[in-house]
């Protein structure tokens, strides 16, 4: 019997399932951070939702913890790396609320289109305003879907039944997969230019933060209506308010906000706006599913059985040769995605040298984890990575060769014209993961949290141009590798690491400089 500490409201079915498995279920609601540190010792499992912060300090105090379970999808409130370092499994319930979230997006769209909340408020206040709240039909309108993950796909299916034309933007899904769904893939500018309604289904990442902002809204079709039931911060709320005020945007419906709880916003005073307080997962069915799913995962983890939704599942069965390369493969996946700015085409991964004689299947899964790390709202694990690839129509092929001219072992990932190769350097605790080639150009740089790859004309002054642009933005260059690119006439490649992430506006300014051909921001993790 294990002690399972539950710090937030969980469906009774979940509590009952854990107790039925013979465990002590210790429910302690409303704990402060200090109180949590006092009660977590002695617990083998910790079950939370979105309010409890599982920090490194909590994990240090919970020395007996085997598993932390989040009864929901997001894991922003769990220090997953710290849990992994301590050998604590982290699990979630990724399928518990997708249907509820999709239905809420549709509810917001309909409520906005027909002014349901506004008309209701007027009528109960004693005003019969039939002519004031004329709405618009969904039938025959174009729905732009920003993000075709599972929730975006469910919304598309439901919108199709309303007779809407479907277009979408998602650089991680193949055109063949979209075609099967009856959706036309388009670029971002065309998406907003054609959409009568735009619905957002993206995770919040450095690449998507503020994506739907002033610049994009200026390109939108006049009279567009926008729904955001995904993540706050992807939609710039002040830019949206300004666009509504100017008449560019006809209406909006929001369930999420950049800062929550949000009780004061310029949007709240606008009659064209419908808002709800993050209710996407707030259905009885979703809460029951979350409780049941997380209880199942907790019981499996405590029994030492296979856990389907383990986010940081250890690579059991990986050989001593393969295991050190797991992190490298994941980082190469992240880098390849950055170079390709999405992955619509097939991916090839090759293992050369000492890895060729090993079972490298787990490394390919690690590569997929990296590829989809910034592409989906749900945390990516060894378990769900293949499903994500299948759902998005991404083909991955692997090959091996015993020949590696310069390295003991080498991993190369390729998609279209882009490729990235990496290896391990050093011995023992001094081993480092290094990039050794990008797009066929040999470069020797260690991975870093903030990296830029710049392709430019091969002429004097280009290093200065890049350095000045970053310096003017208050960014320091930590390291740089440069060289002429084989197979590209009169072009060169720079790989830089910076002291902090390069803001999007700085990237765009750099791309506009004379002689700069391409700039890619890589978040290697």
**Domain harbouring 345, CATH code:** 3.30.1330.90
**Domain identity same for 220 and 113:** yes
Residue 58 is predicted with a pLDDT of 97
pLDDT of residue 441: 87
Using the predicted structure, report yes or no on whether residue 289 has a pLDDT greater than 80: yes
In a domain, 373, yes or no: yes
Among 148, 150, 118, smallest CA distance to 134 is for 118
36 with 13, same domain: the answer is yes
pLDDT: which is higher, 411 or 203? 411
Q: Contact at 8 Å (CB) between 393 and 176?
A: yes
Res 28 pLDDT > 80 = yes
pLDDT, average across residues 487-498: 80
CB-based contact 21:299 (threshold 8 Å) = yes
Question: Tens of pLDDT along 403-425?
Answer: 777 788 999 999 999 999 999 98
The predicted pLDDT at position 128 comes to: 97
Flag whether 389 is in a domain. Answer: yes
What is the residue-averaged pLDDT of the chain? 91
Q: Is residue 459 part of a domain?
A: yes
89-144 residue pLDDT tens: 999 998 889 999 999 999 999 999 999 999 999 999 999 999 999 999 999 999 99
pLDDT confidence bin for 314, thresholds 50/70/90:
low
Tokens of 304: 């030492």
With bands split at pLDDT 50, 70 and 90, how would you rate the model's confidence at 211? very high
Give residue 86's pLDDT: 85
C-alpha 101/C-alpha 147 separation (Å) is 14
Residue 486 has pLDDT above 70, yes or no: no
| Residues 353-373 pLDDT 10s | 989 888 898 899 889 989 988
Whether residue 166 has pLDDT greater than 70: yes
State pTM to two decimals.
Answer: 0.80
pLDDT at 317 over 60: no
293 and 340 inside one domain: no
CATH of the domain at 519: 3.30.70.260
| Mean local confidence (pLDDT), 234-250 | 97
Task: Give the model's pLDDT for residue 216.
Answer: 97
Domain shared by 234 and 138, yes or no: yes
Query: What range does the domain containing 297 cover?
Result: 3-95+286-303
Check whether 79 has a pLDDT greater than 60: yes
> Does 308 map to a domain?
no
CA distance 322 to 276: 48
Domain membership flag for residue 102: yes
Looking at the structure, do residues 66 and 10 belong to the same domain, yes or no? yes
**pLDDT of res. 524:** 63
Closest C-alpha among 194, 220, 209 to residue 141: 194
Split into its structural domains, the chain has a count of 4
**Helices of type H across 361-503:** 361-371, 385-391, 462-472
Helix H segments across 185-254? 188-194, 214-218, 237-246
CA separation (Å) from 391 to 173, 175, 187, 394, 474?
A: 8, 12, 20, 8, 41
Q: Could you tell me if 131 and 269 lie in one domain?
A: yes
Residues labelled catalytic: 231, 260, 278
Domain identity same for 483 and 415: no
Residues 416-444, mean pLDDT to the nearest whole number: 86
Q: How many CB atoms lie within 10 A of CB 223?
A: 12
**pLDDT, position 427:** 65
- 409 and 380 share a domain? yes
Question: Do 478 and 330 share a structural domain?
Answer: no
**Residue 280 falls within a domain, yes or no?**
no
What average pLDDT does range 304-315 have in this prediction?
Answer: 76
At which of 417, 432, 447 does a domain end? 447
Percent of the chain predicted with pLDDT > 90: 70
Residues 388 and 487 in one domain: no
For residue 486, give Cα distances in angstroms to 131, 410, 441, 496. 68, 20, 6, 19
Please report whether residue 229 resides in a domain: yes
Q: What is the pLDDT of residue 203?
A: 87
Average pLDDT estimate for 204-226: 94
Residue 309 belongs to a domain: no
The average pLDDT across 200-215 equals 91
Task: Kindly state whether residues 88 and 110 are assigned to the same domain.
Answer: no
- Residues 390 and 431 grouped into a single domain: yes
Task: Count the Cβ atoms, other than its own, within 10 Å of residue 74.
Answer: 18
Q: What's residue 327's pLDDT?
A: 87
Q: Give the mean model confidence (pLDDT) for residues 377-388.
A: 77
Show the tokens assigned to 378: 């749900």
pLDDT at 47: 98
The CATH code of the domain that includes 29 is: 3.40.50.720
**Final residue of a domain: which of 380, 412, 447?**
447
């Amino acid at each position: 019997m294990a002690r399972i500490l539950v710090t937030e409201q969980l469906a009774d079915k979940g509590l009952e399932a854990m107790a039925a498995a013979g465990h002590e279920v210790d429910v302690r609601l409303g704990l402060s951070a200090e109180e949590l540190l006092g009660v977590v010792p002695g617990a083998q499992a910790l079950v939370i939702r979105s309010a409890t912060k599982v920090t490194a300090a909590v994990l240090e105090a919970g020395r007996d913890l085997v598993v932390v379970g989040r009864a929901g999808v997001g894991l922003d409130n769990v220090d997953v790396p710290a849990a992994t370092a301590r050998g604590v499994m982290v699990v979630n319930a990724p399928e518990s609320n997708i249907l509820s979230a999709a239905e809420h997006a549709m509810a917001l769209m309909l409520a906005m289109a027909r002014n349901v909340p506004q008309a209701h408020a007027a009528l109960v206040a004693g005003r019969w305003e039939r002519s004031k709240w004329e709405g618009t039909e969904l039938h025959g309108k174009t729905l732009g879907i920003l993000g075709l993950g599972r929730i975006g796909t469910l919304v598309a299916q439901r919108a199709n039944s309303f007779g809407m034309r479907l277009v979408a933007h998602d650089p991680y899904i193949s055109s063949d997969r979209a075609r099967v769904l009856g959706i036309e893939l388009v670029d971002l500018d065309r998406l907003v230019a054609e959409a009568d309604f735009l619905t957002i289904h993206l995770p919040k990442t450095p690449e998507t933060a503020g994506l739907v902002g002033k610049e994009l809204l200026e390109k939108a079709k006049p009279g567009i209506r926008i729904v955001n039931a995904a993540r706050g911060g992807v939609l710039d709320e002040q830019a949206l308010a300004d666009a509504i005020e100017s008449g560019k945007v006809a209406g909006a419906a929001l369930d999420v906000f950049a800062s929550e709880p949000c009780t004061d916003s310029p949007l709240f005073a606008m009659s064209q706006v419908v808002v709800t307080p993050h209710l996407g997962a707030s259905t009885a069915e979703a809460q029951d599913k979350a409780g049941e799913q997380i209880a199942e995962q907790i019981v499996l983890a405590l029994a030492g059985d296979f856990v389907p939704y383990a986010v940081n599942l250890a690579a059991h069965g990986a050989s001593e040769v393969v295991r050190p390369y797991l992190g490298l493969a994941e980082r190469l996946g992240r880098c390849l995605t950055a170079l390709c700015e999405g992955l619509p085409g097939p991916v090839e991964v090759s293992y050369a040298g000492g890895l060729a004689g090993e079972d490298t299947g787990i490394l390919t899964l690690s590569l997929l984890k990296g590829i989809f790390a910034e592409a989906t709202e749900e945390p990516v694990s060894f378990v769900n990575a293949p499903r994500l690839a299948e759902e998005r129509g991404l083909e991955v092929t692997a090959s091996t060769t015993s020949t590696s001219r310069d390295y003991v072992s080498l991993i190369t990932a390729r998609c279209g014209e882009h490729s990235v190769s990496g290896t391990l350097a050093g011995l023992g605790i001094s081993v480092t993961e290094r990039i050794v080639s990008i797009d066929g150009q040999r470069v020797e740089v260690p991975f870093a949290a903030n990296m830029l790859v710049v392709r430019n004309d091969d002429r004097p002054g280009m290093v200065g141009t890049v350095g000045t642009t970053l310096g003017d933005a208050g960014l320091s260059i930590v390291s740089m590798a440069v060289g002429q690119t084989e197979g590209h006439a009169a072009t060169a490649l720079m790989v830089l690491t910076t002291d902090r992430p390069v803001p999007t506006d700085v990237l765009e300014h750099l791309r506009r400089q004379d002689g700069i051909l391409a700039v890619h921001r890589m978040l290697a993790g």
